Amino acid sequence: MSADDNGNGSDASILTKTRTRTQRPPMYKVLLLNDDYTPMEFVVHILERFFGLNHAQAFEIMLTVHKKGLAVVGVFSFEVAETKVAQVMDFARRHQHPLQCTMEKE
Ligand code: TYC
């Protein structure tokens, strides 16, 4: 082994070690916003229908939105969150309620 031999079988005298971090896909919170006009039962129905919540869970989240102004309904991949928001907005619009649903990067 000569003076510039690093002993790893390569001629290079500098070793570069690259640590590749595994990237988790970003997740998105789906938020429901309060308003003064959308009926409580309609919001509960939306939470059951599009988010798979049981009646008690749906009622609880609806009440949180009603009292606090907004609540996180769930956390999803971008595509799933986008679909949920579109389904809620479309359903609310078709029933002529001003309900708003948005998404935000976690
Ligand atoms: N504030 C509404 C009412 O009193 C109920 C409501 C709850 C509306 C949640 C929207 O996201 C909402 N009828």
Secondary structure letter of residue 9 according to DSSP: S
In Å, how far from its chain's centre is CA 33?
Answer: 15
Distance CA 81, CA 62 (A): 18
Distance CA 96, CA 93 (A): 5
Would the pLDDT of 9 be above 70?
no
Helix (H, G, I), strand (E, B) or coil at 28: strand
Measure 50 CA to ligand 1 centroid, in angstroms. Answer: 17
Q: What is the pLDDT of residue 5?
A: 43
Which tens digits make up the pLDDT trace of 24-61? 899 999 999 999 999 999 999 999 999 999 999 999 99
Q: What is the pLDDT of residue 6?
A: 43
Whether the full predicted model's pTM is greater than 0.85, yes or no, is no
H helices of the chain, in order, are 40-51, 55-68, 78-94
Asked if residue 66 has its Cβ within 6 Å of ligand 1, the reply is yes
Asked if residue 75 has its Cβ within 6 Å of ligand 1, the reply is no
Q: What is the pLDDT of residue 22?
A: 84
**Can you tell me the mean pLDDT for 60-69?**
98
Question: Of ligand 1's atoms, which has the minimum distance to the CA of residue 33?
Answer: 11
Dihedral-angle region of residue 69 (phi above 0 means left; psi in -120 to 50 means alpha; beta otherwise): left
Count of positions (residues) in the chain: 106
Q: What is the pLDDT of residue 67?
A: 98
Question: Of ligand 1's atoms, which has the minimum distance to the CA of residue 62?
Answer: 9
